[in-house]
Amino acid sequence: MIYLIIPQKYSSRFVEYFKKNQVDAKEVEECFLELDTNDYALVNNLISKDFVSRYISRMFFVDKKITNIDELQKINKKIRIQVYPKIQENKVLEKLEERGFDLSPTEFEEVLSVVYVNDQCYYGLLNKKHYFRKIHEKKIARAYYKIKQLVFEKQIKLDNKVVLDVGAAPGGWSEYLKDHVEKIVAVDPAQLKIEGDNIVYFKNKIEDVISEVNNYNYEIIICDVNDVFYSVFNNILKLNYKNKQLIMTLKFSKKSLKKINQDVEEIKEFLKMYAKDVEILFLFANTKFERTLFCVLN
């Protein structure tokens, strides 16, 4: 079994993410997610993506059950321990030190996970090279992680593609895409904070440069504009949109979950006239008032 400590508000998104990748997951305690698998390599690959790992505090791998920590056999290697819940950690440390375990939080060979859950005690041992470390690099904007996750989940082919980035500033989506596509045509009246030899930047509203951007043979349209869907989509229809992939952030300003879900279904119905393969996702980097649309425009 594998356990993750995550922010509680992301629980449903984690469950859905693992479900899509053939891993059963459920929240067993607040902020504590259980993955019903011992396939550590699979899970490690899934959570190594920075759009996921930035929300994970700690990972525990356990494959054995004991009645109490005194039953744990002596490990003749230098180990680091991690315990859930945290309140049990000092107690476990003291017992292991009393029994002569060689413990170190930095100079270790193996990682020992001890988990107390559902009135049971579990433990597991992993080599140091598999130890989960939370890595978070500073990006221009949270939107960087939206586009990165969507490209991964939808397996979008970016090589040699030209992308039109509507509402590009400050540059989160372009920051990721510039290293993967042939050209980005970025449009936003606000200042773009990312540069690149393959970025063409129009410091305008999209409605003011329709003819100019339509001179470019873009194949993907991405849009992260802070406006209601129907207003933004009206401008999308002025572009050379046919047979183009559309990736768009949907904004639902301070609405209830029920109302957001209703609006999502209405947008899906509306798009039947204009698109195929319509999917609306709740990405990790979406706020609770956002969703991300992916479709192919007819």
pLDDT digits (tens, 9 = 90+) for 241-295: 999 999 999 999 878 999 999 999 999 999 999 999 999 999 999 999 999 999 9
Same domain, 119 and 150: no
Same domain, 126 and 170: no
Same domain, 20 and 98: yes
Same domain, 193 and 48: no
Give the residue from 280, 186, 264 showing the smallest Cα distance to 225.
Answer: 186
Among candidate residues 74, 102, 130, the one where a domain is terminated = 130
Same domain, 60 and 111: yes
**Pairwise CA distance, residues 111 & 61, whole Å:** 9
Among candidate residues 72, 106, 130, the one where a domain is terminated = 130
In a domain, 173, yes or no: yes
Same domain, 113 and 237: no
Same domain, 16 and 162: no
| For range 41-58, the mean pLDDT | 92
User: 138 pLDDT exceeds 90?
Assistant: no
SS3 category, 158? coil
The fraction of the chain above a pLDDT of 90, given in percent, is 84
Same domain, 152 and 275: yes
**How big, in percent rounded to 5, are the helix, strand and coil portions of the chain?**
30, 30, 40
- Which residues are CB-neighbours of 261 under 8 A, at least 6 positions away? none
In a domain, 138, yes or no: no
* b/e 5-22 (16+ beta carbons within 10 angstroms → b): bbeeebbebbbebbeeee
> HSE on the CB side for 222, CA within 13 Å?
26
Each residue's pLDDT tens digit, 141-180: 889 999 999 999 999 999 999 999 999 999 999 999 999 9
In a domain, 135, yes or no: no
In a domain, 240, yes or no: yes
**Pairwise CA distance, residues 149 & 171, whole Å:** 16
User: 131 pLDDT exceeds 90?
Assistant: no
State the total domains in the chain.
2
Domain CATH number, residue 185: 3.40.50.150
Residue 84 contacts residue 3 (beta carbons within 8 Å):
yes
**Pairwise CA distance, residues 215 & 210, whole Å:** 9
In a domain, 137, yes or no: no
- Note the pLDDT of residue 149: 95
The predicted model scores a pTM of 0.86
Same domain, 203 and 246: yes
**Pairwise CA distance, residues 157 & 168, whole Å:** 20
- Name the residue range of residue 242's domain: 143-297
Same domain, 101 and 231: no
| For range 105-129, the mean pLDDT | 93
Domain CATH number, residue 32: 3.30.2130
SS3 category, 268? helix
Same domain, 283 and 147: yes
Helix (H) or strand (E) holding 18: helix 11-20
The dihedrals phi and psi of 123, each to the nearest 5 degrees, come to -145, 160
In a domain, 14, yes or no: yes
* b/e 142-170 (16+ beta carbons within 10 angstroms → b): ebbbbbbbbbebeeeebeebbbbbbbbbe
Task: Specify the DSSP class assigned to residue 145.
Answer: H
| For range 67-92, the mean pLDDT | 91
User: 202 pLDDT exceeds 80?
Assistant: yes
Same domain, 126 and 147: no
In a domain, 153, yes or no: yes
Q: Which residue has the higher pLDDT, 73 or 4?
A: 4
Among candidate residues 106, 130, 154, the one where a domain is terminated = 130
In a domain, 112, yes or no: yes
